[in-house]
Amino acid sequence: MKLTLVLILALQVSVCVWAEPIPEPDKELVEKYEGLKAVFFKRLVNAYSKFTAAVEPLMESSPAGQTAKETLEEIRKRPRVESIIKILTGLASELEPVVDKARMSLLGAYGYYLRPYIGETLDKAISNIKPVLDTVMPAEN
């Protein structure tokens, strides 16, 4: 009987701990995250454009490259591929609010539980890696 009572109390405590609402992230943290995310996507777009600019002349000059280019164009024009792209685009737009909510929950949990302990170290690490990324994968042309 005592063991059952202890087990019930332990489960109540654990449920109460997990039932806490996730704290909202600080506005400053959200702005910092959005800024870093925007710069990261700029870096990816710039790297992709440089890659395609470097590969495109090679694709046009070789017969295998021409064949690959024609095959990709044919695949893109297929109705199944077009419908899959439309489905994935629709699915991404439907999932966007869920992803945003999850992202804000994770930022809130990070800001409340982890940032006091690792925030300064993470900020220094990001600041130290920025010059390397600016050299290897710059955000601007």
Tens digits of residue pLDDT in 71-117: 888 888 898 988 999 999 998 898 899 899 999 999 999 999 999 99
- pLDDT for 27: 95
Say what the pLDDT of residue 72 is.
Answer: 84
Task: Please state, in angstroms and rounded to a whole number, the distance separating the CA atoms of residues 85 and 76.
Answer: 9
CB hemisphere CA count around 53 (13 angstroms): 7
Q: List, for residues 16-63, the tens digit of each pLDDT value.
A: 555 577 889 999 999 999 999 999 999 999 999 999 888 888 777 888
What pTM does this model have?
Answer: 0.72
How many other CB atoms sit within 10 Å of the CB of residue 107? Answer: 20
